[in-house]
Structure 1
């Protein structure tokens, strides 16, 4: 465990995983470009000690590698999180009276720290600013990407209480700074904070809100975890369980909410549900695309409290890989034992970074009867935030679920398109820009398990890749991997991609292929970027087709930008790209930063 953020930074520095940048840098784009380069190269966390025009330094990249994320969560490897939860789930006395209860005693230390501890004084309240002294512009809040609507707080721990039940929630929701004393609060349709606000509206009350920045990195992780609704249990309990020591909480100075005593900075205030919503965005999101402007509630800041010499923590999201991928992997490991309780046939699962969490899930199954893969898929899609999954790929127990592309290739060896693929419909992430409607769209299930006789049995198939590909005028670039064909094109008219697919699959080069991926011309033909682009840009019900190839049916995924003539009437967002001038600036200053 780490008592607070600075203890974690000190530990990282001792391990050689923290670099200090002592020259002045800008919180507008420059820090993003530096941090993006570091996370994509597996580099260290960064502490920017001098941010132009701001009062606090910036720490970023706190979870920038798998190993660093494990270190932040107090384990040697993320797989230990599953083992820890498995031991906890074994805390069942069953039957047997006093002797069974006594048998629990050796395991009770697992719950050490589960319950938060209330304190009267806290380092985070060493400095208290109220009224006119509140000025959010003094914080080094990052403008991350060129088209962002403004600076965004990207690593906030947002605390609210259910106005009816009193249950606490700790969540992470981005916050656009609007002026000196207010922000937008990005409470999406399915978020707990939004439910709390709606309840406050019905009761005719304002909703108190507190936002913590920093503290033990375990607490920051807990705010991202999709904790199931359990009476009396909040993310503070999860963090205490993971760290093996209670989270210390102190009452806010202007709100009746508990805040982490060891945080760096706390913003206190309220949201009035009767006020008009405010325009928020655009924002370069974790999908790798900008989410467009939308309307969200305004958070009024009544007080800022902070440590003396506080450090502002931040993260960036965008085209993967980013550090959120490692937080997602931590969540996979943490919730695997619970998933197995509900679906015992699940051996393992993984959400590849290219799928930006909800777009792609691989699952390995212990298969015993026909149709079991479909049973598992239906079950997973009904569990919490797994309901947002867009593409679900099943393989047999012995198949590794990562790296994602290798798992997909193995699945294609046993999945006959049409027979072993299934299109569904259901809720999707509100950030999914390609769905048929807001928060509602298609899903694709690929059964890549070995087929039993009742399922039609295995169909002979040898995955191949052809070194010399056919020349097709509209296909700007092409590449094949065993079983998979990737093609980019410059789209100029409706249904162009599917027409091109029909022509390509008539060529001998479609032999040994069961998946054809079509993407726009600005997509790099690597498996990772190709799958990232295609999965972002499909609604499977509309964009997945089974077409005849030279050696049987081929699954075609049209991952090109959709046009209004194709029945798409929503805003198609821009892909995130850094300003070339900023890239050149960072390149020129690289040695000056001390790298």
Structure 2
């Protein structure tokens, strides 16, 4: 199903009871975030805030805040259907005589829907602000979290064009409002926008930029999708394919760029590559931590076009799960067939919310030979944005990759520390605050597949009892909480029945986490434990999602994951505590995102006024 625009999708959600209206005045600074955060974590509805203080425009948030709404927005009954849709497009057959060619007609028709459709104008150009009329403060731009550097546009579709080739790009990059007509542009070093800006600099010209707010949901999703480098495939083309009809675009009023004709707002302007970059941030990011201030280009807004009655779309990011988790899952499903074209042994893969996309990738394979797991892992590290993956877990084909607990049970049972674990290094997400360098860090492969005879028998694993097929027959005997040893800095701890010891740890001096790990490895309580998970003192050891979210954010896999011998075998120690300068970590360690208690109390007191269900409070 294709949606002509955002408001058509909103009406459908409202008809289905999946969107509620809040006429009560709300504050764009923190209050909307607190409401939206509660709703997305409870699987609640999208919200149209009709009365945002200080703005004449309503704000909608949470449109794709559940798996079901995300699927609906992309025109499928379930996100798994996206894989079948893409497989049908790429599985073109050039043989089979007349019958085979006729079988391709439908697929070729779908492919013909890819290019956007140029129209003379569109609803988004019904109202035009130019020059001194431009005032970004009139838009209900959110300040999402207490330590944010200011208000941020969180759902922008940023459009640029390669100054040399004319290649078009659309991406979603946060934009901090700096003044009535300027914003920061968070173009990281690996992004296409950065490449376009560098080309403009070499040519001695400004780079034109257009930012769309709104459009139909397929386009909003497409701006987040990690597209493969296929000629002719851009974000407008992907949206056209998903919606089953060519996407309508029109020429900008003051820029030579195609913009979505059915958007709510367009911000038109430029970035001058000769201009000094500006300090942007902090920002409460999708990692659940703040990204600290850094220098980024300045976007000058010279015109704003809009509908006569526009709705400002927004999202928030922060501690998972958030709305972006469902967009990530959509990308998983969409690009599974492409990954299988290159690595056909892949049965399925999943990026769990606790891994905030790149920090954890679980891959199920149809294993055929020794070392097969490493072949797949290294192959994936070379595919597009999968290069940013930090920890990759490979499991057998019959293990459900989206069953978080089952996956880690397989890791404990089948991945012998030191034998079935491999560290390497490569590019990392620039938002990774724990990596050894900016955009560069360690990676870890965990081979949790059933082992073949050639893969067993190392000295390190000889103390483990092994089955005839090489699978580890490990017995885990958890100690009662009262029997767990006391170590310096440990604030809370829990040992599980499947081989994990979870620790909330307060670090006060360098090397303290390593001392803890070595002391535990030598202690009788380590018997049968395969993984020691050392977290910061703010972590709830009874919440496995919180534990892994903290661990995966706070490690450089090569530096902070150690294999240690124990009286009964070996364990893998994960140092997910904060790193300090005395340990050679020169960057500032960012705080976890937390909402101010006063804001939480205010939202509690007003919940009945918002008209939202008490069950979601």
**Could you tell me the TM-score, scaled by structure 2's length?**
0.95
Helix, strand or coil at the partner of 2:263: coil
Residues 355-401 of structure 1 deviation map (CA, whole Å, 9 limit, x = unaligned): 00010000001000101111111100011000000000000000010
Helix, strand or coil at the partner of 1:497: helix
Helix, strand or coil at the partner of 1:529: helix
- For residues 215 and 464 of structure 1, the distance between their equivalents in structure 2, rounded to whole angstroms, comes to 55
- Is contact 2:389-2:443 (8 Å) kept? yes
The reply to whether residue 565 of structure 1 matches residue 566 of structure 2 is no
Helix, strand or coil at the partner of 1:413: helix
- For residues 35 and 338 of structure 2, the distance between their equivalents in structure 1, rounded to whole angstroms, comes to 38
**In the alignment, which residue of structure 1 is the partner of 2:257?**
257
- For residues 3 and 566 of structure 2, the distance between their equivalents in structure 1, rounded to whole angstroms, comes to 57
Alignment of 1:58-457 (within 5 A): 58-94=59-95, 96=97, 100-111=100-111, 113-456=113-456, 457=470
- For residues 103 and 521 of structure 1, the distance between their equivalents in structure 2, rounded to whole angstroms, comes to 60
**In the alignment, which residue of structure 1 is the partner of 2:53?**
52
- For residues 387 and 404 of structure 2, the distance between their equivalents in structure 1, rounded to whole angstroms, comes to 20
**In the alignment, which residue of structure 2 is the partner of 1:459?**
472
Helix, strand or coil at the partner of 1:267: strand
Shift of 1:19: 1.1
**In the alignment, which residue of structure 2 is the partner of 1:472?**
486
Residues 227-251 of structure 1 deviation map (CA, whole Å, 9 limit, x = unaligned): 0222222110000001101110010
- For residues 148 and 486 of structure 2, the distance between their equivalents in structure 1, rounded to whole angstroms, comes to 38
- Is contact 2:30-2:145 (8 Å) kept? yes
Shift of 1:406: 2.3
Instruction: Please tell me the root mean square deviation across aligned C-alpha atoms, in Å.
Output: 1.2
Shift of 1:473: 4.2
Shift of 1:99: 5.9
Structure 1 window deviating more from structure 2 (503-512 vs 145-154): it is 503-512
Say how many residue pairs are matched.
594
The reply to whether residue 484 of structure 1 matches residue 497 of structure 2 is no
**In the alignment, which residue of structure 1 is the partner of 2:606?**
589
Shift of 1:334: 0.3
Residues 397-433 of structure 1 deviation map (CA, whole Å, 9 limit, x = unaligned): 0001012232122122111100100010111000000
Structure 1 window deviating more from structure 2 (99-108 vs 510-519): it is 99-108
- Is contact 2:114-2:233 (8 Å) kept? no
Helix, strand or coil at the partner of 2:530: strand
- For residues 264 and 464 of structure 1, the distance between their equivalents in structure 2, rounded to whole angstroms, comes to 59
Residues 545-564 of structure 1 deviation map (CA, whole Å, 9 limit, x = unaligned): 01122421000000000011
Shift of 1:102: 3.4
- For residues 241 and 463 of structure 1, the distance between their equivalents in structure 2, rounded to whole angstroms, comes to 50
The reply to whether residue 534 of structure 1 matches residue 551 of structure 2 is yes
Helix, strand or coil at the partner of 1:523: coil
- Is contact 2:485-2:525 (8 Å) kept? no
- For residues 106 and 18 of structure 2, the distance between their equivalents in structure 1, rounded to whole angstroms, comes to 36
- Is contact 1:184-1:299 (8 Å) kept? yes
- For residues 259 and 404 of structure 2, the distance between their equivalents in structure 1, rounded to whole angstroms, comes to 39
Helix, strand or coil at the partner of 1:513: coil
- For residues 174 and 371 of structure 1, the distance between their equivalents in structure 2, rounded to whole angstroms, comes to 41
Give the gaps of 5 or more residues in structure 2: 457-469, 613-617
- Is contact 1:409-1:484 (8 Å) kept? no
- Is contact 1:355-1:531 (8 Å) kept? yes
- For residues 67 and 154 of structure 2, the distance between their equivalents in structure 1, rounded to whole angstroms, comes to 20
- For residues 550 and 13 of structure 1, the distance between their equivalents in structure 2, rounded to whole angstroms, comes to 61
Helix, strand or coil at the partner of 2:113: coil
**In the alignment, which residue of structure 2 is the partner of 1:543?**
560
Shift of 1:591: 0.5
**In the alignment, which residue of structure 1 is the partner of 2:461?**
none
Helix, strand or coil at the partner of 1:485: strand
Alignment of 1:31-46 (within 5 A): 31-46=32-47
Give the gaps of 5 or more residues in structure 1: none
- Is contact 1:470-1:507 (8 Å) kept? no
Shift of 1:112: 5.3
**Could you tell me the TM-score, scaled by structure 1's length?**
0.98
Shift of 1:506: 2.9
